[in-house]
Each structure stands twice: as structure tokens, then as C-alpha cells.
């Protein structure tokens, strides 16, 4: 079994990262964080706002993602994130804007989805403590 | 016979026109390059999305609990036509071709006794269709303030569409846009987006279905992804449209520049001839005056 895998992080507007030698990837799955290593069983999971960490042999790189989904196969991970930023670009201002947006969505949301938007808001707030903390 | 002064003025004005069309062509060329780049950059996401959706849709298809967005309402009575055009004209047949395709489909649907609703994206399509189909308009998306198309714009349109679908305003939605083939060829295209159809495209290899683990459940993922899939399709269409518009404008302005050049040549010849004729006339007058003495 190979000890590295392919990792792609794509956003609708551009490709953010494509690494062939990922050793492990930590993904903020909707039902909890998970770490993917080469040879992982194929799976598809949606993402919650959170921190995505990529570990290669030489370095560790973090990204903030605000949602999307990840396709995992034994050969690699493809993350399709709606919005994503490398950790260096994730500043307090960006975070404040995201929270504000999530709060607005929550305030305007239909009561039937209020749980979902509340979770989104909470996740968004938690994202700050993960990324900036 | 126009006077020499008139001709000179005309030549001057056509020269100015040529300058403008030349400038527009160059601006379009620069914008086209940018539009193509963003279309290129958006491709990986759209492709992955398509592949995943095709796989998911295939495995859920036929199930009774499949989301409505995928399964459809089981009827095709009310059709929503989303006509995507440019905000500006002066781009050859670009807007007209899309409007023409939409018009053909609308007429066909009306003849079949279906109910037609039209949502326009971009000013030019609205203007082109307003007279004949004004009563079917249900909305308009204004992108004239948008400098650079972003995914958020597509998402806004997608949310609007899904909201209307959830309210039962229509059964089937189709988008009309132009696929960018080359600078001289843009193909007006119709694509059904609701209910989402993820058939294999022609010549595409059949994606082997992998047995994925789904987290949370398969249906839940699908419910989560379908709106994104629709937004992605709209985004792709918007980008294709953007590139097509600039391509069409570039070639339209190129031929306008050439036409202006030809016109200038013709007018210049005419101007020189009349000037020569005037000189000859004066000479004849002088000579015949001298002879008469």
C-alpha cells in the first residue's frame, strides 16, 4: 500500500491546492472530524465550517473551509469547498464577516431550518477559535 | 453629388467610428482572456461535482424517497425558462441567438398547452423577449453591477430558483445560455437543471460506481448537494456565457473595424476624384477663357 495519496482542494472559482504526496488529511466532517490516511475506505461526507489540515512529509498546511463536501477514496481526497482560505489569509476580519453572514442567515431563516442555521453559526464561531486560537 | 467638404466630414466621422470599434475589440479581447481564465479555473470543481452527483444520482434514482429536486414533481406542466444573456449589446448575434432559441422552445411548449414562465438574467434577453412574452415574465436578475462573476452570484440565482421550485411555482427549469466554442462560434444551448439531470455526456466514459460510505446518510448528502450542484451548473453557464459574449463582441467589432476601413477607402477615392474633377473644371475654365481672348 502506498504511503502517500493525492489531495485536491477545489473551490468553485479556482483550484486551491493539489498535492500528490499527502500523508494525512484532517477533515471537518459534518458528523465529526476525521483523519484520512492513504488506503481509506471510499466515502463521501459533507463538511461543516472548520479547519482542514493537510500533512505532507515536509510540512503541515491548514485551510479554513466553510462547507462543501469531501470525496475520499483509497488513492486520495478531493475536497470541494464552497469557500476556503489558507490559514495565513484567515484573519479576524474574515472571520467576523463570516459570522455576521451566518448570523444574518440564521435571523432570516425559516423556523423549520433554524436548527441548521444555528449549528452553522455555532460552527462558524468555533472555526475562529480553531483557526485564530 | 456631395460637396468636398461633406465628403471630408464623412471620412472624419467614419475614422472616429473605426477608432471606437477598434478600441472595443481590444477591450473585448482582454476581457475574453480573463473570462476564459475564470472558466478554466472553475472547471475542476464543476467536473468533480458532476462526477460525484452523477454517481449519487445514479444510486438513488428510482428510490421513492429521492429528493424532489432530483426526481421532479412527476409533471412537466409548468416550465420555467431561464434565459441568460448579456447586459450589453454590440456583440453580434450573441443575445439574439439565445433569445431565438428560447423563443422557439417557448412557442413549442405553448403549442403543447404547457404553462410557460420566463426568468431573465441579463438585460438584453429581457428586452428581446418582453414584447412577445412579457406576460410570462416572473422575474429578472440584474447583473449589470457585477464586475466579475463570482460563485455567489450563481448561488443567488440558484437559491431563487429552488425557492420558487419549493413553492411549487414550476415543474421543470431549463437554462438558456451560449457555450463558448471559439471566438467565431458560440453555440446557444438549452440545459435542464431542475429536476437535475446527470446523464452521462456523450463520449464520456462511464464512471465506475464505487460503493461509498456516506456520512451522514446518502439521501441527506444528496439533499445537501443538489442545490450546490444546481448553483455549480448555473455558475458554469454564466462563465461560458461571459466568455461567449466577449468572443462574439470581439469578432463583431473586428468586422465592424474592417467595414469602416473599407468605407474609408471608398470615400477617400471618391473624395480624390471629386477634387480632381474640380481642379480639371477650373483648368478648363481658365484655358477656355484664355482662348476666347
- Which residues in chain B touch residue A13, judged by CB atoms under 8 angstroms apart? 38, 41-42, 45, 150-151
d(Cα B282, Cα A115) in Å, to the nearest integer? Answer: 95
**Which of B151, B214, B231 comes nearest A13 by C-beta?**
B151
Burial of A2 (0-12, 13-18, 19+ CB in 10 A): exposed
- Distance of residue A31 Cα from the nearest chain B Cα, in angstroms: 7
Q: Which of B12, B32, B14 is nearest to B252 (CA)?
A: B32
CATH architecture under which domain B44-249 falls: 3-Layer(aba) Sandwich (3.40)
**pTM to 2 decimal places:** 0.86
- What is the torsional sign of CA B156, B158, B160, B166? negative
Q: Is A1 on the interface with B (CB under 8 A)?
A: no
Q: Is the pLDDT of residue A114 over 90?
A: no
Q: Is A4 on the interface with B (CB under 8 A)?
A: no
The residue that leads in pLDDT, B82 or A84, is B82
- Distance of residue B211 Cα from the nearest chain A Cα, in angstroms: 7
Pick left, alpha or beta for residue B238 (phi over 0 → left; psi -120 to 50 → alpha; otherwise beta): alpha
**Which of B49, B221, B232 comes nearest A46 by C-beta?**
B221
The predicted structure's pLDDT at residue B212: 78
Interhelix angle B4-60/B218-292, nearest 10 degrees: 170
pLDDT, average across residues B7-26: 95
| Range of A106-120, B66-80, B209-223, B252-266 with top mean pLDDT | B252-266
Q: Which three cell numbers stand for residue B20?
A: 471606437
Q: Is B209 on the interface with A (CB under 8 A)?
A: no
pLDDT band at B62 (very low <50, low <70, confident <90, very high): low
- Which residues in chain B touch residue A43, judged by CB atoms under 8 angstroms apart? 212-215
The predicted structure's pLDDT at residue B202: 44
- Which residues in chain B touch residue A44, judged by CB atoms under 8 angstroms apart? 52, 56, 212-215, 221
Q: Is B159 on the interface with A (CB under 8 A)?
A: no
- Using one digit for the tens of pLDDT, what is the confidence trace for A55-65? 998 889 999 88
CA-based nearest residue in chain A for residue B51:
A71
- Distance of residue A45 Cα from the nearest chain B Cα, in angstroms: 5
Report helix, strand or coil for B161: helix
Q: Is A12 on the interface with B (CB under 8 A)?
A: yes
Domain ranges in chain B are 44-249
Q: Is the pLDDT of residue B57 over 90?
A: no
Question: Are residues A44 and B212, on separate chains, in Cβ contact within 8 Å?
Answer: yes
Question: Are residues A42 and B211, on separate chains, in Cβ contact within 8 Å?
Answer: yes
> Could you tell me if the ipTM is greater than 0.95?
no
B91, B99, B172, B237: the catalytic one is B91
The residue that leads in pLDDT, A104 or B247, is B247
d(Cα A42, Cα A39) in Å, to the nearest integer? Answer: 9
The residue that leads in pLDDT, A118 or B250, is B250
Question: Are residues A15 and B154, on separate chains, in Cβ contact within 8 Å?
Answer: no
Q: Is B91 a catalytic residue?
A: yes
pLDDT band at B204 (very low <50, low <70, confident <90, very high): very low
When the pLDDT of each residue in chain A is averaged and rounded to a whole number, the result is 85
- Using one digit for the tens of pLDDT, what is the confidence trace for B162-188? 889 888 889 999 999 999 988 888 999
Residues 24-43 of B with CB under 8 A from A: 38, 41-42
The predicted structure's pLDDT at residue B76: 84
Amino acid at each position: 500500500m502506498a504511503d502517500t495519496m493525492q489531495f485536491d482542494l477545489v473551490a468553485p472559482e479556482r483550484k486551491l491546492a493539489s498535492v500528490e504526496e499527502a500523508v494525512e488529511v484532517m477533515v471537518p466532517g459534518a458528523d465529526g472530524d476525521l483523519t484520512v490516511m492513504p488506503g481509506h475506505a471510499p466515502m463521501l461526507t459533507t463538511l461543516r465550517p472548520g479547519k482542514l489540515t493537510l500533512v505532507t512529509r515536509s510540512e503541515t498546511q491548514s485551510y479554513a473551509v466553510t462547507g462543501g463536501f469531501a470525496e475520499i477514496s483509497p488513492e486520495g481526497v478531493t475536497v470541494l469547498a464552497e469557500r476556503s482560505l489558507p490559514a495565513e489569509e484567515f484573519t479576524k476580519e474574515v472571520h467576523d464577516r463570516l459570522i455576521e453572514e451566518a448570523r444574518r442567515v440564521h435571523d432570516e431563516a425559516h423556523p423549520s431550518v433554524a436548527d441548521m442555521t444555528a449549528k452553522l453559526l455555532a460552527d462558524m464561531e468555533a472555526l475562529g477559535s480553531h483557526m485564530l486560537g | 453629388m456631395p460637396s468636398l467638404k461633406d465628403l471630408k466630414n464623412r471620412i472624419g466621422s467614419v475614422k472616429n467610428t473605426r477608432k471606437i470599434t477598434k478600441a472595443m475589440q481590444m477591450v473585448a479581447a482582454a476581457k475574453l482572456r480573463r473570462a476564459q481564465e475564470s472558466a478554466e479555473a472553475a472547471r475542476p470543481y464543476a467536473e468533480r461535482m458532476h462526477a460525484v452527483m452523477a454517481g449519487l444520482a445514479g444510486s438513488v434514482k428510482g428510490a421513492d424517497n429521492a429528493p424532489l429536486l432530483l426526481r421532479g414533481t412527476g409533471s412537466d406542466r409548468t416550465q420555467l425558462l431561464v434565459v441568460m444573456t448579456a447586459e450589453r449589446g454590440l456583440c453580434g448575434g450573441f443575445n439574439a441567438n439565445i433569445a431565438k432559441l428560447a423563443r422557439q422552445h417557448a412557442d413549442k411548449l405553448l403549442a403543447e398547452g404547457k404553462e410557460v414562465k420566463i426568468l431573465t438574467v441579463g438585460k438584453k434577453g429581457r428586452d428581446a423577449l418582453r414584447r412577445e412574452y412579457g406576460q410570462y415574465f416572473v422575474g429578472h436578475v440584474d447583473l449589470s453591477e457585477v464586475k466579475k462573476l463570482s460563485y455567489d452570484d450563481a448561488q443567488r440565482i440558484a437559491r431563487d430558483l429552488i425557492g420558487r421550485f419549493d413553492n411549487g411555482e414550476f415543474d421543470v427549469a431549463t437554462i438558456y445560455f451560449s457555450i463558448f466554442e471559439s471566438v467565431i462560434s458560440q453555440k446557444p444551448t438549452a440545459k435542464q437543471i431542475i429536476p437535475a439531470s446527470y446523464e452521462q455526456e456523450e463520449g464520456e466514459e462511464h464512471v465506475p460506481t464505487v460503493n461509498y460510505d456516506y456520512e451522514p446518510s446518502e439521501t441527506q448528502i444528496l439533499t445537501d448537494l443538489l442545490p450546490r450542484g444546481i448553483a455549480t451548473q448555473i455558475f458554469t453557464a454564466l462563465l461560458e456565457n461571459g466568455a461567449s459574449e466577449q468572443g462574439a463582441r470581439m469578432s463583431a467589432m473586428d468586422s465592424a473595424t474592417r467595414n469602416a476601413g473599407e468605407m474609408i477607402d471608398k470615400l477617400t477615392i471618391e473624395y480624390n476624384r471629386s477634387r480632381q474633377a474640380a481642379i480639371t473644371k477650373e483648368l478648363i475654365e481658365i484655358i477656355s477663357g484664355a482662348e476666347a481672348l
